[in-house]
């Protein structure tokens, strides 16, 4: 009999939570042949990253995954053998009670946010007994080292990327109604939260010695871009030129097309968890904006990833990468963004080479999907 899995996702941070949960659900169904139900409390946001989803349907199937609307009060449902609570979303009380009535109880896993911090390995896999019910929850931490829960990555991802770059990239640019890149042109994707450093960065690009094309999927950064341009609003398809900078607004796209954008661009500005991981798998230089937290707690996460990411870079290139990341995250920095950008430009070749090498190193952490399945199977025995 197929082992059943339930994944619960409460959409909190726009697309990051559902992005990770959906990749996981697809991987479990496609690569491991598991019966997976994905419970989501905001199907409209889900629809943005996967347009095949009907935001009004109580139940539907996509990519072999049963998609269920998570409503309150929660409908009576027989729990799966493995239950994933994505990012501490708190399971419905009625579902927890049903879990407690099963013998043996389901394997209950709290999938935590990804972090490169050193404490993650020590907390990965730890049990947490429920205060009232005969249930135990296990904390599962994705991470960048082999002693953590690994990274989201579907099988064949690298082969798909290489095939795209070899055969499909010219057609990708044509579909966007953008010509092939010029020899000295830098193409940048920009997916970001609101950011006070944005105007200074755009100013630096506008006076760059070489042309910069910035491709911006519709999202939270659009009002800031419009204000910088001095226009009332921006819509998908809009193109604006200022100095050496050409800005083009793209329609919000699904996960697979966003991967292609990351593969095709020379530099990717990404935010949160899902797009950060995908940018690393793209083997392209990136600048990460961590999800802002109170008391700048996200700075620790940023520094932890920088510490790992810059291993093997020469000091000047490491300084260029760190400077851009830290400035983009409003960390204390004596230099302005123009100086940071000039330093990054000067070390671009080394940074590009490192991005490819880093992508190859990521495989050492293992696959999140495979490690979750292995963990659950051991607990089911």
Task: Check residue 12 and give its pLDDT.
Answer: 78
Question: Is 208 annotated in the active site?
Answer: no
Domains of the chain in start order, with CATH, are: 4-152+366-380 (3.40.50), 157-364 (3.40.50.2000)
Structural contact between residues 292 and 309, judged by C-beta atoms closer than 8 angstroms: no
pLDDT at 319 over 60: yes
Whether the predicted pLDDT of 255 surpasses 80 = yes
100 burial (CB, 10 Å; 0-12 / 13-18 / 19+) is middle
Q: Is residue 140 over pLDDT 60?
A: yes
63 is catalytic: no
Computed over every residue of the chain, the mean pLDDT equals 94
Cα–Cα distance for residue pair 357/152, rounded to 1 Å: 18
Tens digits of residue pLDDT in 277-308: 999 999 999 999 998 888 788 899 999 999 99
Nearest Cα neighbor of 114 from 337, 336, 302 is 302
pLDDT tens for each residue of 26-76: 999 999 999 999 999 999 999 999 999 999 999 999 999 999 999 999 988
Reported as a pLDDT band with limits 50, 70 and 90, residue 128 is: very high
- Residue 147 pLDDT exceeds 90: yes
**Considering the entire predicted model, what is its pTM?**
0.94
Looking at residue 73, its pLDDT comes to 93
The active-site residue out of 112, 259, 273, 274 is 273
Please state which of the ranges 127-136, 137-146, 286-295 shows the lowest mean pLDDT: 286-295
Cα 14 to Cα 42: distance, rounded to the nearest angstrom? 10
Q: Which of 16-25, 199-208, 334-343 has the lowest mean pLDDT?
A: 334-343
* Marked catalytic residue, from 17, 85, 112, 203: 17
pLDDT in tens, 162-219: 999 999 999 999 999 898 999 899 999 999 999 999 999 999 999 999 999 999 999 9
| pLDDT value of residue 297 | 83
Which residue, among 212, 192, 193, has the nearest Cα to 202 in the 3D structure? 212
How high is the pLDDT of residue 1?
A: 55
Q: How confident is the model at residue 13 (pLDDT cuts 50, 70, 90)?
A: low
Q: What is the pLDDT of residues 349-367, one digit of tens each?
A: 999 999 999 999 999 999 9
Tell me which residue of 337, 350, 334 sits closest to 205, measured CA to CA.
337
Find all residues with CB under 8 Å of 14, minimum gap 6, and list them: 45, 219, 220
- The pLDDT of 134-156, averaged and rounded, is 96
User: Closest Cα to residue 143, out of 357, 322, 377, 371?
Assistant: 371
Structure confidence by residue, pLDDT tens digits, 74-116:
988 999 999 999 998 999 999 999 999 999 999 999 999 999 9
């Amino acid at each position: 009999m197929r082992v059943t899995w339930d994944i619960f996702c409460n959409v909190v941070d726009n697309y990051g939570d559902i992005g990770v949960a959906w990749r996981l659900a697809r991987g479990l169904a496609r690569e491991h042949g598991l019966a997976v139900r994905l419970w989501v409390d905001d199907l409209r946001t889900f629809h943005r990253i996967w347009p095949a989803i009907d935001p009004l349907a109580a139940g539907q199937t996509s990519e072999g995954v049963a998609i269920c609307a998570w409503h309150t009060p929660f409908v009576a449902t027989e729990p799966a053998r493995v239950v994933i609570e994505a990012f501490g979303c708190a399971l419905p009380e009625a579902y927890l009670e049903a879990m407690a009535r099963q013998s043996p109880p389901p394997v209950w896993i709290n999938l935590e946010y990804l972090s490169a911090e050193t404490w993650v390995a020590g907390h990965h896999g730890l049990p947490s007994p429920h205060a009232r019910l005969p249930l135990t929850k296990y904390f599962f931490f994705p991470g960048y080292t082999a002693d953590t829960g690994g990274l989201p990555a579907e099988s064949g991802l690298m082969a798909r990327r290489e095939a795209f770059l070899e055969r499909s990239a010219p057609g990708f640019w044509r579909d966007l109604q953008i010509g092939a890149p010029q020899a000295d042109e830098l193409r940048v994707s920009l997916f970001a939260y609101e950011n006070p450093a944005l105007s200074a960065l755009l100013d630096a690009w506008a006076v760059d010695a070489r042309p910069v094309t910035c491709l911006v999927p519709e999202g939270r950064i659009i009002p800031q871009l419009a204000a910088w341009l001095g226009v009332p609003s921006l819509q998908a398809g809009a193109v604006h030129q200022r100095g050496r900078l050409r800005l083009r607004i793209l329609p919000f796209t699904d996960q697979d097309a966003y991967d292609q954008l990351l593969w095709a661009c020379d530099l990717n500005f990404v935010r949160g968890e899902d797009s950060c991981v995908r940018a690393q798998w793209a083997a392209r230089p990136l600048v990460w904006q961590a999800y802002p937290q109170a008391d700048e707690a996200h700075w620790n996460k940023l520094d932890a990833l920088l510490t790992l990411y810059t291993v093997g870079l020469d000091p000047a290139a490491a300084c260029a990468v760190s400077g851009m990341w830290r400035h983009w995250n409003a960390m204390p920095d004596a230099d302005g963004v123009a100086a940071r950008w000039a330093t990054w430009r000067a070390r671009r070749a080394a940074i590009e080479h490192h991005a490819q090498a880093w992508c190859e190193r990521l495989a050492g952490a293992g696959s999140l999907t495979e490690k979750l399945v292995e963990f659950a199977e051991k607990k089911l025995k």
